[in-house]
Amino acid sequence: MSSILKHGGYTARVEYSAEDRVFFGKLDDITDLISFEGTTVPELEAAFLEAVEDYETLCQAVGKPPEKPFKGSFNVRMQPELHRQAALASRERNMSLNQLVVEAVRRFV
């Protein structure tokens, strides 16, 4: 069973509050806080879709581009020796270190 909702490139992890008897979530991987809730699954799903659409509409109204969850770049931190080995392996394969990391991630996922 998945607790992740997806729409328009956005995702949200859903939680349940037994105290409030409500499902709730927020859009993942953006800095703006966009949340939603519902007491039933259909209500929750509708609130999620509405939250995404409202976020994009609001951004357009204020002239701000909507944040997309992933921009395609990130920093990787690793032990210096592993970094050295990766750099050597990329040179041996006549590719950049970035290309090596992308290929490694592609094979893993």
Mean pLDDT, the chain, integer: 92
Percent of the chain exceeding pLDDT 70 equals 99
Do 4 and 11 form a contact (C-beta atoms < 8 A)?
Answer: yes
Position 73 scores a pLDDT of 81
Position 57 scores a pLDDT of 95
Tokens of 18: 């037994």
DSSP-based three-state secondary structure for 68? coil
State pLDDT tens for residues 5-34.
999 889 999 999 999 999 999 999 888 999
Q: Where are the chain's structural domains?
A: 4-62, 75-109
- Quote the CA–CA distance of 75 and 70 in Å, as a whole number: 13
| Cβ partners under 8 Å of residue 71, min gap 6 | none
State pLDDT tens for residues 30-79.
889 999 999 999 999 999 999 999 999 999 999 999 988 777 888 889 99
pTM over 0.75: no
| Cβ partners under 8 Å of residue 41, min gap 6 | 23
